[in-house]
Structure 1
Amino acid sequence: MEAWDVYDKDRKLTGKQMNRGDPFEQGAYHLVVHVCLFNQLGEMLIQQRQPSKGNWKNMWDITVGGSAITGETSQQAAEREVKEEIDFALNLQNKRPSLTVNFEYGFDDYYLIETDLNIESLSLPTEEVKQVRWASQNDIINIISEGLFIPYHKSLIALLFDMRYSMGAHNQRIGQ
Structure 2
Amino acid sequence: MEIWNAYTADGHLTNHSLTRGEPIPHGLYHLVVECIIRHRDGSTLFMKRASIKPSYPSYYEATAGGSALFGEIAEQAILREVREETGIELTTDQLRHHTHFVAHDDQCIFHCYWAETDWDKSAIQLQANETSNFIWVKQEDLEHFLETELVIPRQKAYVENLFLKHEKP
TM tier, smaller: 0.7 to 0.9
Equivalent in the alignment of 1:160: 162
Relative to structure 1, is the Cα distance of residues 63 and 123 closer, same or farther in structure 2, using a 3 angstrom cutoff?
same
- Is structure 2 residue 88 aligned with structure 1 residue 88? yes
- In the alignment, is the contact (CA less than 8 A) between 1:75 and 1:93 conserved in 2? no
TM-superposed deviation, 1:119:
2.0
* Deviation at residue 72 of structure 1 after TM alignment: 0.8
The alpha carbon displacement at 1:47 in A equals: 0.4
Give a deviation string over 1:128-158, Cα, whole Å, max 9, x none: 2211112244145314xx5x22232754332
Counterpart in 1 of 2:146? 141
Matches within 5 A, 1:1-176: 1-92=1-92, 95=95, 97-104=97-104, 105-124=107-126, 126-135=128-137, 136=139, 137-143=142-148, 148-152=150-154, 154-161=156-163, 165-166=168-169
Runs of 4+ with >4 A deviation: 93-96, 162-166
SS at match of 1:90: coil
Q: Is the 8 A contact 1:98 1:163 kept in 2?
A: no
Give the number of the structure whose residues are more often strand, by fraction.
2
The letter for the 2-side match of 1:38 is R
- Conserved 8 A contact 2:75-2:92: yes
Distance 1:56 1:2, change over 3 A: farther
Q: TM-score, normalised by structure 1?
A: 0.78
SS of the aligned residue for 1:132 comes to strand
For the structure 1 residues 164 and 12, does the alpha-carbon distance in structure 2 shift closer, same or farther, using more than 3 Å as the test? Answer: farther
Q: Secondary structure at the match of 2:115?
A: strand
Quick one: distance in 1 between partners of 2:95 and 2:19? 28
The normalised TM-score by structure 2 is 0.81
What's the C-alpha RMSD, in Å, of the aligned pairs? 2.5
Output the CA distance in 1 between the equivalents of 2:41 and 2:92.
Answer: 22
Aligned residues: 163
Asked if the contact 1:119–1:132 (Cα under 8 Å) also holds between the matched residues in 2, the reply is no
Q: 1:164 to 1:108 in 2, by over 3 A?
A: farther
Would the aligned equivalents of 1:119 and 1:133 in 2 still touch at CA under 8 Å? no
Q: Rate the CA distance shift 1:118–1:151 in 2: closer, same or farther, 3 A.
A: same
